[in-house]
Chain A
Amino acid sequence: MTVRVQTADFDAGREIAALRAGDSRVGAVATFIGTVRDVNDATHVVTLTLEHYPGMTEKALEAIVAEALTRFDIFDALVIHRVGTLAPTDQIVLVAVTSAHRGEAFDACRFLMDYLKTRAPFWKKETTPEGARWVDARASDDEAAALWEPPSGPR
């Protein structure tokens, strides 16, 4: 597994090549890239600043990747998440997964993002023409993450 939190931008092609290098079992690579939008809640975003909790954020991402490696039939996974001040169109996060077949790779990639959105200690602050504001967590993210839980029922 590869987990990195960094201010620098990443080259997705290079990271994917490194992830699957020399592994001829790999038949599928699924990736996701999150980028900064220029509008959020009908307000123009000038910059987006990402804060993290050094020490815990890396551990939380490693735990999420470890869970994906257990739950899905995949070979490897990587998460690179940027922090610091970004601008619209900048890359924020890269998730990549390798497996033999596409079904598990797509599912694991989705799972990693759904869990990252609800469990990884990052916080976003936007600057807008009206001033700076912290982004609120979305109920839809919690709902998406909950879909990966087993349904609870009578024991």
Chain B
Amino acid sequence: MNPSIQSRLTRAALAAGLCCFLSLGAGLASSVQAATQGGTLVIVTTPEPNLLTNALSSAVTVTEVGTKVYDGLLEYDMDMRPIPSLAESWEVSPDGKTVVFKLRRGVTWHDGRPFTSADVQFSLLQVVKQYHARGPGNLGPVTAIETPDEHTAVFHLEHPYPPLLKGLSSAEAPILPKHLYEGTDIRNNPANNAPVGTGPFMFKSWDRGSAITLVRNPNYWREGRPYLDRLIFRFIGDSGTRSAVMENGEAQVATFGSIVPAEMKRLASLPNLEIAEGGYEALAPILSLEINNKKPPLDNRKVRQAIAYAIDRKFVADNIWFGFGKPAVGPISSVYASSGIFTDSGIVRYDTADRIERAKRLLDEAGYPEKEGGVRFSLIHDVSPYGEDYRRLGEYLRQALGKIGIKVTLRNEDWGAWVRRIYTDYDYDFTSGWFVGMGDPTLGAQRLYVSRTIKSGIPFNNATRYSDPEIDELWARVAVEQDTAKRNEAFHQIQRKLTEDSPLVWLLELHMVSLQSKQVKGLITSPLGMRGGLYEASLEK
């Protein structure tokens, strides 16, 4: 081992490790009792993925399939603290610029070849960092990965990067077999559609347009796992039929996006079905309105604040998302409460009792008095093409903003046109969408707020074109700050400053739960939820 690297585990980390060891132990004990071996679990999800290697695409369904086949270096407990996966242990050097991962021994690829540190080096630097949309964020400062032996990977970083340990799951940074990818055209490698990994399930077949079948990996390194013999992902175009498939028991699990919330609520009340709670914490998704901050009158902070006041988040949570979400207070989700990153103190709250009066007052102050018929000005809302819920949201927004004198017209376009309009042409007033926070806000939320991500043509970057030097500086600080208290304080400042400037309007922290048959046990055991390995899932006979 490299002697220059001091092993240093802080007391906090030790305590955390112990904690997660205990909780893991408890989890194991309970699942040993409940788990039944065997069976086929059918999962309904949508849309059908276009390829199966989630190292090359961060699309939701690609990740759902890929994470069963691949492992990552790390996994996370429910509080997003790292726990071992392909890496058995890891040490961060005191200067934060070197991280040593000790890799698990005796792990083999589904084709029988041994897994080594060379796979880690190749996958992360040659594939994930180059091709995965969040690769540059997750692995940004990693300049080199040294492999002193087959079971050690030494990461060299440009600067300390605390978020690094939050983005190494199989969902974000899957480890691919170097021997199948090296020296090939990575994007068109045949293994992309017939993936080979080290994970709990092996790829068997892909019936295009219908289903993907994965089978149990008998040599999986987690002793006795997975419990299921087979995982089948089914793709059905119509949401009504997807509900029917759950209702008559042809499928046992449906992912959040595949069933509309209203239906989800109805189906969960049937005797054989229930909600599988949790499983979205690693995504930390927030439903928001993106506002064109460069376009008058929306360039005026008071106007954006008025819009934020006008919306009844509780109503949206209860009547459009049917309780699958809770009102959001700012850009940083309360999912991060346990790590101290989240705060709701000292921020501008938009859920006050007199919010309508405040909104009207702000619009008056901004110079937009009520004119004939109570209308101050008109806006177009681009309904995002995510489905029915977003159309209903659009209809609600029209009413809610109408109350404060903003006349809203709705515009519906399909994916291609919408992405082009919002993220390339910036030809919009405001639109809606859900944005991920990821394991650390630096990895997910950040890109919506900093000046350097104002890049025309790249979706889900800073399309509001909000730009503020103080905010830029704060985000730069949290990326490198190793002192937890100072880092959390900087996040709190971000939360305060952004709620005041209101570049976006944050509506709900979405609870992206799944629907499951009551026969299914142990489905959601990690914050990755359906984007985890599902090796603890079992089917009661």
The answer to whether A and B come from one shared complex is no
The chain A residues found within 8 Å of chain B, CB to CB, are: none
The chain B residues found within 8 Å of chain A, CB to CB, are: none
